[in-house]
Amino acid sequence: MDIWLLLGSVVVIAAIISVRVAHRTGLPSLLIYLGIGLLLGENGLGIHFDDAFLAREIGLIALAVILAEGGLTTSWHHVRPAVPVATVLATVGVGVSIIVLAACAMMPLGMDLRSALLLGAVLASTDAAAVFSVLRRLPLPPRLAGILEAESGFNDAPAVIIVMALSAGGARMPGVGNIVLDVVLELVIGAAVGLAVGPLAAYALRRVALPASGLYPLAVFAVALAAYSGAVLVHGSGFLAVYLAGLVLGNARLPHRAATRSFAEGAAWLAQIGLFVMLGMLANPSELSSSVIPGLLAGFALILLARPISVVASSLVSRALRIDRIPWREQIFLSWAGLRGAVPIVLATIPWASGVSGAKTIFNEVFVIVIVFTLLQGPTLPFVAWLLKVGAPGEARDLDVEAAPLEELKADLLQVSVPPGSLLHGVEIFELRLPSDAAVTMVVREGRSFVPERTTRIRAGDQLLVVTTAACRETAERRLRAVSRRGKLAGWYGEQGL
């Protein structure tokens, strides 16, 4: 056990260091994690791991953790306008992508119908972890970023259901009607569970003063994972449930919200590291060489045909339903930004663990596709955004507000971080016009704290400590956000700080 603990610690430390290297070079960190796994595997240090069933179970749990973090760190204010379009992309787009890619796989690759549909379903959904990591370093307009965020959070659920359905049933392939019915039923149940658990947990956590601040992140994360397992137990979509529960909890006025987000990000990083290292150990480099050409053909069919056609079809459906209109520049960017990462490789373990004929070949081809096309798409996204003029380099980050309950005073202590680009910069304290029961009690600037005067000017990078009664906390937060977005005259512009 001590040896395994040492090895695990070394792997995690190496993976954390690689994040810094990947950030500087633009190389996606998932490739480094996969490389570590290959290095530890049979052809490296000789650790034997070929249990597809165990890999599937660990992979699905890791994806649930990643989706929980995605929901907890997603701003509902940003994704709300994009939810209808993202829903169409996650349903109609996934279906179209499966059909187009399956047709391409059957003709040049000579796959049978089930194998071709499995390959299409495995590669149909975008990877939440890959998309979230890109959005953190690539400034995009809120609407476009919201579409990518919501789509990557929603589309795992139908893809998993379809792969499960195609992998079950022995030699007989299930009918299209049965698959569609399963998808609709599981999505409805999963959504109901997530939208029931999230608000109930938020209501309870707002009214319970826990004895230690570190318990709040644990409680929130446990609730999100309970939504996942609860939905699965009642035959619903656990992935949709955990994402929606996380989305509700992440946008609720909970104590120590910033600490909860940080904890979720750390847990998701650990899940990604463990997941990719495990998948790298599961792959056999000696078997991958024969899958390079088929994988490249399928990958180019995916990014040049299946993904663009699915985006165009989703745009047409959205326009027909009068949901929204996606400009052609955004359609091209959405087509190129359909990143694949851990999700396709994990989904490829499902038919392998179920004993489907040819499933190991599909796993090897998907492994090749993820490596090659992550290298191709990930580093080029900033250039594509610049070329299509869809980037937003001046987009200001929203305020980060942390809260701690002061139970005996029936008040809250807010810690407000002033981000770069915020219009709070240069505003004097009295110009904030906070409610009478709220006050800025301290400013932390460049490591030095002081009590501000009415005429003290706020600067970008400051940390403001605001004491407010529970009754006017929401009003104070909204005023701070409004000034951050539109300046001290925010009210004249109609900005409400929602």
| Interval 167-176: pLDDT, tens | 886 566 777 7
**241 confidence band (pLDDT: 50, 70, 90):** very high
Q: Select from 76, 65, 12 the least CA-distant residue to 253.
A: 76
pLDDT of 463 > 90? The answer is: no
- Other beta carbons less than 10 A from residue 470's beta carbon: 16
* pLDDT at res. 394: 47
* pLDDT at res. 189: 94
| Interval 209-229: pLDDT, tens | 777 777 888 888 899 889 999
- Selected residue with higher pLDDT from 46 and 275: 275
**396 confidence band (pLDDT: 50, 70, 90):** very low
CB 376 within 8 A of CB 130: no
Percent of the chain with pLDDT over 90: 13
Average the pLDDT over 351-368 and give the result: 88
Show Cβ contacts of residue 104 under 8 Å, excluding neighbours closer than 6 positions: 297, 298, 301, 305, 306
**What domains are there in the chain, each with its CATH number?**
2-168+268-388 (1.20.1530.20), 400-493 (3.30.70.1450)
- Selected residue with higher pLDDT from 35 and 496: 35
* pLDDT at res. 327: 86
Average the pLDDT over 488-496 and give the result: 73
Q: Which of 109-113, 155-159, 264-268 has the lowest mean pLDDT?
A: 109-113
Q: Which of 45-59, 264-278, 483-497 has the lowest mean pLDDT?
A: 483-497
| Interval 295-316: pLDDT, tens | 899 889 999 999 999 999 999 9
- This prediction has a pTM of 0.74
Average the pLDDT over 48-66 and give the result: 88
Average the pLDDT over 403-425 and give the result: 75
